[in-house]
Chain A
Amino acid sequence: MKILLAEDDPKVAEFVTSGLEENGHSVDHVSDGRDALSYCMYNDCDVAVLDRMMPGMEGLSVVKALRAAGKSVPVLMLTALGDVDSRVEGLEGGADDYLTKPFHFSELLARIVSLTRRKTETADVPELKVHDLTLDLLSRTARRQGQVIELQSKEFALLEILMRNAGRVVTRTMLLERVWNFNFEPNTTVVETHISRLRSKIDKPFEVPLIHTIRNMGYTMHGPR
């Protein structure tokens, strides 16, 4: 995957670049907002990671200019700590996702991967499937091996996101944002307890577990490999 990283802190840029390259992606790095804009106008990339505060041009202005020019490249915006509320601003400005500094690299990676996928999955599928588990999005029912599994609304939302990202890591923060709409760190075990509930319903009664914990990263769903 080809990724543009626009970040003016050389240390952060170096870490992120090497991390992404180790994960098999190619990274182009710029440290100025205007460079980021012209790069995206004349080059193709799969994801653009833009820092909100950059010399030359603010990350938000870059996204707005890109969207105005009809460029639909997925954008992940990075923002300073404590700036939870500019998240809304960023998303309204055309960014696809938002991440607060300092972040765990795994979190960044998971979000980048999830972004590229989101573009292709926008097509409304009526049903999601992982191994022998199916989730009917219209009748809102889960079935495994033909057995209907009763799910609470939050459990259903959780499972839907995990299944939509099957094979990829979904982080705890991503789940907090997407299932509960919490754009803050709630210091709770909400995610863990709900995952445990979900497991007891869709994994425990069956032989093959589908939900897997990736230590220090998050959760992923896949069938036997």
Chain B
Amino acid sequence: MDRGSVFSGGSFRATLYGTLVFILTLAVVGVLANHYIKTQLRAEIRMQVEATIADLQSIHDIDGPDALMAAVANISPLYARAHLVVALRDAAGNTLSGLVDAGPGFEGWTTRQLALPGQSDFAGLYYLTSVPVGDFELIVGQNIGIIDSMEATTLRVLLAVGAVMTLVFITIGYRMGRAMQVKLEKMADTLETVAAGDTDARLPVSAENDQIDRVSRTMNLHLSRLSDLMVSTKSSAAAIAHDLKRPLARSYLQLERAIAKAEAGADPLDDLEETRHELSRLSDIFETILRIARIEAGQAEGVMQRVDLAEMAADLGETFEVVAEESGQSLSLWIDRGQDLSVRGDAGMLSQMIVNLLQNAVSHCPKGTQITLGVGRVNRRVCLEVADNGPGIPDTERENALLHFFRADASRSSDGTGLGLALVKTIADRHGVELRLADNGPGLRVTACFPAPE
């Protein structure tokens, strides 16, 4: 797999943008938090320092300046351990008590670097204030090195978190991109396989049900339809070749025999007529194939108009009554006259559909068969039915009967083109008609139901 295409993939880029936004947010939040914490800590220190000053002030006010001096001298080593500084200076700035030299005089709050000889722990940055107490200057402060170190720690933590998260994000992004890339590549491979002729190849669909899976599922559906089409095209092409070859081969042989007869001075007329018959058959097959193709391609549409199916069925029924009787069969007509049985369609096509169904029944049934042609309404839909009590079509083969060149007798000895029902199906499809073949127990029942009116 090409790593470059993972990095340029959509999902990796989305993660990268996400990471950038995260780092930016982290930085802004860090700065704001740091500022807030620092301000809070300083306020805390001020409160502590001011409390200490108030205590010392009250010692001075109650017990006098000497007591204050002693108190400062006593507490300053203790305070030092708590990173606090306490010092007492006179007006000239000389340190009288306490452990530190706070440097030049100042007023209010300031920040100074202080050091204490021999006590390295004490050294550091102090936040301190000086207030006059009696004749003294009292200096109290707190080491704020802790704030700085905290700032540094916060920064380190933020940096570490940022780095780790970036790494995690990029890894996730890469893996997601890779997964997607793998799926896309599999998709491309499958499509290539299909294009190369393996129509059974299907796109993998994972349980994740992501967009690619959903697209894959839709594409698989299309692939199935495509392969069905290709299979039926292949099989009908083979069937066409087979069915055209027979009359061709026969006419070729008959023609040769006619020539031989003519050369021998005999009468070749019978053979020539047979040849013509075979060629006629060939022409009929071509005609039907072309008609199916034209109807399927939607080129054969005449005018879609209201067709009274009852009238058409009655007319054709009357004609085929005679045909059935001549074949020793009987045809009965059943029309639900109480209803409007008109449909929208091409009269020529519909007439051909009914003729093919009736002729199919007559051709494939023995003497004595009863055929019925019925038209009526079933749940608002106009339905036409041709049923017989002949041999029918076995359950397993009934579905194939609508395919091109199907014949119930595998020997293909009967004289039909094997296209009659295929043409019926084509015409039915064109009219949105639901065509059903069922067992008539015994026999075959073909039902064609037109779409219900809007």
Contact = CB atoms under 8 A, between A and B. Distances in A.
Interface of A: 81-85, 88, 100, 102, 104, 152-154, 180-190, 192-194, 196-197, 216
Contacts of A188: 323, 355, 359, 362
A80 to B, nearest CB: 9
Given A88-B302, A102-B283, A180-B319, A82 B291 contact: yes
A11 B184 CA distance: 59
Given A84-B300, A187-B417, A182 B276 contact: no
Given A82-B294, A187-B417, A193-B323, A181 B351 contact: yes
29 contacts: A81-B283, A82-B286, A82-B291, A84-B348, A85-B301, A85-B302, A104-B276, A153-B318, A154-B322, A180-B319, A182-B352, A183-B348, A184-B287, A184-B352, A185-B284, A185-B287, A186-B355, A186-B359, A187-B284, A187-B417, A187-B420, A188-B355, A189-B327, A190-B319, A190-B320, A193-B322, A193-B325, A193-B326, A194-B322
A190 B301 CA distance: 26
Contacts of A216: 273, 276
B406 to A, nearest CB: 15
A196 B326 contact: yes
B318 A184 contact: no
> Which residue, of A81, A85, A194, has the highest number of chain B Cβ atoms within 10 A?
A85
Interface string B294-315: 1000011110000000000000
Given A82-B287, A104-B280, A154-B322, 8 more contacts: A84-B287, A85-B294, A152-B318, A154-B318, A180-B319, A182-B352, A186-B355, A192-B326
B165 interface: no
> Which residue, of A83, A152, A190, has the highest number of chain B Cβ atoms within 10 A?
A190
B220 interface: no
Contacts of A186: 352, 355-356, 359
A203 to B, nearest CB: 16
A88 B346 CA distance: 13
A189 B326 contact: yes
The list of the 4 closest CB pairs from A to B, nearest first, reads A82-B290, A193-B326, A188-B359, A186-B355
B451 interface: no
B416 interface: yes
Contacts of B301: 85
Nearest to B362: A188
Nearest to B355: A186
Contacts of B322: 152, 154, 190, 193-194, 197
B426 to A, nearest CB: 13
A82 to B, nearest CB: 3
Contacts of B348: 84-85, 183-184
Interface string B260-296: 0000000000000100100110011011111101100
Contacts of A183: 348
Contacts of A190: 319-320, 322-323
Interface in B332-368: 348, 351-352, 355-356, 359, 362
Contact of B319 (A88, A185, A194, A196): A194
A152 B416 CA distance: 28
B307 to A, nearest CB: 13
A154 B291 contact: no
A183 to B, nearest CB: 6
A100 B287 contact: yes
Interface in B183-216: none
Contacts of B326: 189, 192-193, 196
Contact of A85 (B300, B325, B417): B300
A182 B283 contact: no
B290 A182 contact: no
A7 to B, nearest CB: 18
Nearest to B420: A187
Nearest to A179: B319
Contacts of A194: 319, 322
Contacts of B318: 152-154
A100 B327 CA distance: 30
Given A81-B283, A81-B287, A182 B323 contact: no
A187 B284 CA distance: 9
Nearest to A180: B319
A186 B419 CA distance: 11
Interface in B404-439: 416-417, 420
A102 B282 CA distance: 11
Contacts of B302: 85, 88
Nearest to B419: A187
Nearest to A183: B348
Nearest to B277: A216
A200 to B, nearest CB: 11
Contacts of B359: 186-188
A153 B179 CA distance: 76
A85 B294 CA distance: 10
A81 B294 contact: no
Contacts of A152: 318, 322
A193 B324 CA distance: 9
> Which residue, of B290, B300, B322, has the highest number of chain A Cβ atoms within 10 A?
B322
Nearest to B294: A82
A154 B293 CA distance: 32
Contacts of B362: 188
Given A181-B351, A182-B351, A188-B359, A81 B286 contact: yes
Contacts of B300: 84-85
